[in-house]
Each structure stands twice: as structure tokens, then as C-alpha cells.
Amino acid sequence: MSKQISEKHPRGLYVLFFAEMWERFSYYGMRAILLLFLLDNVRGGMGLDAAEATAVYGLYTASVYLLTLPGGWLADNIFGQKKAIWYGGIIIMLGHIILAIPGGTGIFFLGLVVVAMGTGLLKPNISSIVGELYPEGGARRDAAFSIFYMGINLGSVLGITIVGYLGQKINWHMGFGAAAVGMFLGLIVFRYGSQKYLQGFGDVPPVKVVTAESAAKSGSERKLGYGLVALLVIFLAVLQLQGIIDMSTAQGLAQGAGVIIVSVSLFYFLFILIAGGLTAVEKRRVLVLIVFFLAAAIFWSGFEQAGSSLQIFAERYTQRTFGGWEMPSSWFQNFNGTFILLFAPIMASLWIFLSKRGLNPSTPVKFALALLLVGAGFFIMEMASKVAVTGQLASPFFLTFTYMVHTIGELCLSPVGLSSYTKLAPKRYVSQLMGIWFVAASLGNLIAGLFAGGFDEENLQQMPALFNQVTLFSIGFGLLLLIFWKPVKNWMGGIS
């Protein structure tokens, strides 16, 4: 792997690396202080209660990943990837500038919406140009994605350190402003770098030729889409009128978003299975993608609590004063990025070492491992919360170890999942199914936010039980996948 990584890569990869690094600087930097700002009622934060604040957090992070669907579509059909990244970056920067204005609730929420829209436009398209740089696929493309993943995490570490420090130690809005500066630097890199090194990639797509057949097909798909929207509206109205969810609150809105995400994904999978014109082999592969979708959604719903329940735990219940200096609680989120930078090359060499001996675990086994690891991380948190309920501060080692096992889990699932989605998807559905991969992350983020709503100071005693639920759920699904990995692998039909 290290040889592949050091092999010469096109300069364009480094343009994308640095542009994505600064974008992730702004995303993770802002995310590190978001929940703290929403909860704070002492330093000019919003002073929301835990249930509302975590629901806003879940809605925001879920939207970021959900909006990658229209973002990918706009690039494929209208702008081309390069323009989508450029406009997306400008929109993100404007969003952070709006967040930097201390202008009250309305302005703040507007800023969040703007950042989410810009990220939806930038995020999927920057990764697809990375793929485009290596049309031959293969090991060089995998190596390029590993380098790119390092850029993501380097950006996250720098962002959390700088934005977290400024936001928590000086002023919330100064932190948000620093995120805007980060995105500005990313735009400069992209502007000058892409003119020189990305010529001929991610350009405006050619106008599609419309035939009578394709027009009829897209017409009937549009009707089906309208039908689904109408059904969803009716379903949500029934839930609201029956008092099952209350969409006038942030929590209710987040629950409504969950209903929409689950229904759309379910419908989409059913649609391509029934009406997608797939062969028997392709159908079985789509079933595997459904299993991976579920596993990924469960994984992210535990993992992405990094910014919700684990952040609350770092802030309130973790000992973080060292020699008289108090570490900003958001810095704990840095352990993820730092461990990725440390472990990614090791894990990549491990997979190569194992596959040379015919021992490389299959993708379903790697997914199962990821779920078991996320469960193990929450088991550690259960132990930590048992210390916290006695009124003592928990040792920082608990969170450190949790982040370590979660990161190893991420490395088993995230890069592997991304590439198996591209490989298993029937050719004509590749980009849509790539979008569905991000929808799993969106659902996970939403649940990660909603789940943390139980972390109220009044509910302190329940904390170990809450963490225990996540452990049981992820380990349960992980074991199921571990038991049934063989049939799942067989359904993959020769693709590993």
C-alpha cells in the first residue's frame, strides 16, 4: 500500500485533496461547536433544551448528506462537477459568514440551511472527480481514495482544533467565522488548481438526446415520484393529526424527516427490484446493497454521536483539566481524525497482507466487524457513564478508547462500503445508488441526533442504559451479519 501511495499521482488529486481538506475544516470545525452553541445559555448561545438542540443537530447533519442527492443530480445533468464544487464552496462560505453574524435564531438557522445546501453540491462531486482521474479503476484508484480520505481527516483535525478553540475559548461567532475563512482558502486552491490541473475533468455534461421512448419513461417515473410525494404528505399528516409526531417542534420535525428518509429509501429499493429491469444476478446484488445500507445506517447512528451524545459527555462528565489548563471539550472529536491519520495506512497494509495469504475478510464480515466495534465503543461509554452517575468526572481515557475502536470500525466500513457500492450497483444505477450510500449516512446522523435527546441533566441516571441500548443494537446486528456472511457473500455473485 505504501508503495502504491507513494506512486506518482496526477497533480489534480492534490488540488482535490486540499480543496476537500478546507471544506472538511469548515464542516467538522463548525460541527464540533454546533451542539455546544445550541445548548449554551451563558456565553451568548441559543439556550435550547437537550431534546431540541440534539434534534436540530440531527436535522442539520442529516440534511447535509441528504442534499448530496440533488447535488449529484445537478452536477450530472446541468453544471458538471467542477462548477458544482465551485458554486457549492461559495454557498458554504456564505453560510458560515451568516453563522458568524450574531443575529439571533432566524439568521442562525438560515446559515445552517445555506451550509447544508452548499455541502450537498460540493461533497459528492469532489469525490466523483477523484474517481474520474483514474478511469482504469484498480489499486491506484483505491490508493487515491486513501490519500483523499487523509485530506478529509487532516481538514477535520485542523478545523476542530482551530474552530473549536476559538468558539469555546473566545467567542462562538468567531469560531463560525474561522470556518468561513477555511472554506475561502479551499476556494482559492480549487480556483487556481483546477484551471491548471483538472482540465477535461468534471466539465459541463453534454445535452442529453431525448427520444420518444426516454421521454415516455421519464414521464412515467415523474408520475410515480409525484404519487410517492402525495402518499408521504398524507402519511405525515395522519401521524401529525393522530398526535404520534408533533412537527411544530424540532424533535417532531426530525422524526418526520426520518419517516421521509426511510420511506424514500424503501420505495427506491423496491422500485429498482420490481421495475428496474434487472437480471437475477443484479437483483441479488441489490439485496446485498440493502443489507449494507441497513448496516451502514446503524453504524453511522452510533458513530456520528461523536458530535452529539459523546460531545455532551466530553463537555459535562469528562475530566479534561491538565496541569491547570482546561482542554476545550470539542477537541475530543479530534481523536477520530487523528486515529484515521495513524491507522489508515496500517489497515490498508493489513488488508493487503491478509489478501496475499487468501485471508482477507469478505465485505460483509468487515461490515459486521464495524458494527461490533461501534458496539464495543458504546460498551466503554457505558462504563464511563457509570462513573459519571456517581458524581465524579470520568477519565479522558474512556472517550479516547471509544474513539479509537470507532475509528477502526470506520476504516472497516466507510472506504470498503464506498467502493462496494460502485462495484455491486447495476451499471445504469451507479450514481443513484452512490447517492443512496450517503442517504444511509444521513439517516445515521439523524438518529445520532435524536438519540442524544435523552441526554438531559435531569436524566443523568439513565445514561448507562442509553449507551447500553446502542451497544446491544449494534452488536446484535453485527452478530447477525457475522452468522449470515456466507449467503450475503454468495449473493454478491463473484464481486468482493
Q: Residue 399 or 441: which CB sits closer to ligand GLN?
A: 441
User: Within positions 229 to 288, which residues make up the interface with ligand GLN, using CB under 6 A?
Assistant: none
Give Cα separations from 99 to 54, 102, 103, 106, 307 (angstroms).
Answer: 18, 7, 8, 10, 18
Q: Which is nearer to ligand GLN, 162 or 441 (CB)?
A: 441
Nearest distance, CB of residue 283 and ligand GLN, angstroms:
26
Number of other CB atoms surrounding residue 339 within 10 Å: 20
CB of 300 to ligand GLN, least distance (A): 5
Q: How far is the CB of 330 from ligand GLN (least distance, A)?
A: 16
Residue 141 vs 320, nearer CB to ligand GLN: 141
SS3 326: strand
The nearest distance, CB 417 to ligand GLN, in angstroms, is: 8
- Cβ distance to ligand GLN smaller for residue 149 or 165: 149
Of the pair 378, 491, the CB lying nearest ligand GLN is at 378
Nearer to ligand GLN, 145 or 491 (CB): 145
Burial class (CB in 10 A: 0-12, 13-18, 19+), 411: buried
Q: Which of 310, 441, 443, 450: binder of ligand GLN (CB under 6 A)?
A: 441
User: Which runs of consecutive H residues, i.e. helices, occur in 357-395?
Assistant: 363-388
Residue of minimal Cβ distance to ligand GLN:
441
Dihedral sign, CA of 355, 357, 358, 363? negative
322 by DSSP, 3-state: which?
strand
Q: What is the distance in angstroms between the CA of the first residue and the CA of the last residue of the chain?
A: 18
Minimum CB distance to ligand GLN, residue 11 (Å): 22
DSSP string, 215-238: HHHHHHHHHHHHHHHHHHHHHHHH
The smaller minimum CB distance to ligand GLN, of residues 330 and 385, is found at 330
Between CA 209 and CA 231 the distance in angstroms is 32
Helix (H) or strand (E) holding 321: strand 321-322
Minimum distance from residue 24 beta carbon to ligand GLN (Å): 6
Q: Please give the single-letter amino acid code of residue 207.
A: V
**Residues 285-314 as x/- pattern, contact with ligand GLN by CB under 6 A:** ---------------x--------------
From the CB of 347, what's the least distance to ligand GLN, in Å? Answer: 15
> Cα-flanking dihedrals φ and ψ of residue 394, to 5°?
-80, 150
299 or 491: whose CB is closer to ligand GLN?
299
Build a one-symbol-per-residue string for 409-438: x at contacts with ligand GLN by CB under 6 A, - elsewhere: -----x------------------------
Could you give the dihedral angle defined by the CA atoms of residues 343, 344, 345 and 347, in that order, rounded to the nearest 10 degrees? 80
Q: Which is nearer to ligand GLN, 297 or 399 (CB)?
A: 297
Q: How far apart are alpha carbons 62 and 250 in whole angstroms?
A: 13
Answer whether 292's CB lies under 8 Å from 478's CB.
no
- Interacting residue with ligand GLN among 152, 298, 327, 344 (CB under 6 A): 152
CB of 437 to ligand GLN, least distance (A): 8
Of 462-491, binders to ligand GLN (CB under 6 A) are none
| Residues that contact ligand GLN, how many (by CB under 6 A) | 5
- Which is nearer to ligand GLN, 86 or 437 (by Cβ)? 437
In whole angstroms, the minimum distance from the beta carbon of 490 to ligand GLN comes to 27
**Least distance from C-beta 152 to ligand GLN, angstroms?**
5
Counting DSSP H helices and E strands in the chain, the numbers are: 18, 2
- Angle in degrees, CA 453, 454, 459, rounded to 5: 140
Check residue 370 for interaction with ligand GLN (CB under 6 A).
no
Beta strands 325-326 and 321-322 are antiparallel
Which residues within the stretch 9-38 sit at the binding site for ligand GLN (CB under 6 A)? Answer: 24
CA angle at residue 137 from 336 to 190, to 5 degrees?
A: 60
Residues that bind ligand GLN (CB under 6 A): 24, 152, 300, 414, 441
